[in-house]
Amino acid sequence: MPESDEHVFLSKAALHIMESASKSRLFGYTEGQRKRFDFSCDLKKDWSKVISGQTLWGHGGDGIDKDLRTLLHDEDIAAAVYIARHESRNRSRLAEVTQDYLRTMPKSLSRLRVFWVPADFDADDEKSRRTVHNLLKEEITKDLLLQVALGGLTSADVTRFASSRRPGLPLEILSQVKRAGYRSHRHTAKALDVNLNALQFETERLFIIGFLKSDSPQGGIYSVTDSGNAMLDICSRLRDYLHGSLGDGNTNEDFEHICKLLGIDYPSISITEPLLIGDDKRNIEDPTALLLQHVAQADADGAVEWPEPYFNLPSASEISTAS
């Protein structure tokens, strides 16, 4: 049976949204082969996370069992995406099927992300296409990309991180742990040339926020979590902004969209505003201003190894074709 125009549009829209988000330079994007799925892609950095999905539109829920079985039984998929027509029979059937997986394969079910599309969506109508694309962009970015590509980073995490009263130090700790590990409080305090008590307090804050992890519930030998790495990447792009080098005209719409979902309204802060310790005009009630102060102070201190923007490397086949 040929795919409907709506089915084709929704599958392509999912890929377009994820490819566009990669222009934030926080991760890379490679489209995958469809094989058994309606769409598939690989998000890359110093990790590789496959996202595959199915689109449910025209078969009235009859194929939900098969679609979920195809998605959830593939252990290589980091996130299984289901884009479905919002109808009561579809929701009812999906609830029945997922209840079975909840009993038998709860870990696999946790990878499932379902995005509902209004049942009256018409792919032949430009306004309808634009509305649905924007709806999916908001939901896929917030509920999928932040979870998968940015390690579950939330706006609350960002606010707690920015609220530290020691500008720059939390970033310096994250960078030091990522670069050299964390042997002990004393060793790390010496490496960063900071007060031992301050180092211990900020390290424990980062552990509580979830940016550092340890094999011991009480802490100890720490490593940086996925969300901690994402925070470093975001702060590195914010440093680019403060240097006026974020992109053409010092703008990057896809990075800005991700930041706004995290409560970071960096364009509201002029790159000429005073941000370093001792400057009196910073707004201590604005999480964005506080976060940019952390970035500016860590940059001035010179103790952070800032992650470079992520660009996809060409594949071997692309290189040979170009030659």
Report the topology of domain 5-148: Trna Endonuclease; Chain: A, domain 1 (3.40.1350)
Residues 6+ apart with CB under 8 A from 270: none
Buried b (16+ CB within 10 A) or exposed e, 130-145: eebbebbbebbbeebb
CATH 1.10.10 domain extents, the chain: 155-301
Identify the CATH assignment for 155-301 out of 1.10.10, 3.30.750, 2.60.40, 1.10.1760. 1.10.10
- Segment-wise mean pLDDT, segments of 10 residues, the chain, 323 residues: 88 96 95 85 92 87 85 91 94 90 87 95 97 96 93 97 95 97 91 96 96 78 95 98 95 97 96 78 80 96 94 48 43
CATH 3.40.1350 domain extents, the chain: 5-148
CA 148, chain centre distance (Å)? 6
pLDDT at residue 56, as a whole number: 93
pLDDT at residue 282, as a whole number: 59
Plot region of 203 (φ>0 → left; ψ -120 to 50 → alpha; else → beta): alpha
Instruction: Report the C-alpha gap between 278 and 309 in whole angstroms.
Output: 30
Give the pairing type, strands 48-56 and 77-86.
Answer: parallel
Under DSSP, the state recorded for 314 is P
Is residue 179 packed enough to be buried (19+ CB in 10 Å), middle (13-18) or exposed (0-12)? exposed
pLDDT at residue 172, as a whole number: 98
Contact indicator for 60, 94 with CB cutoff of 8 Å: no
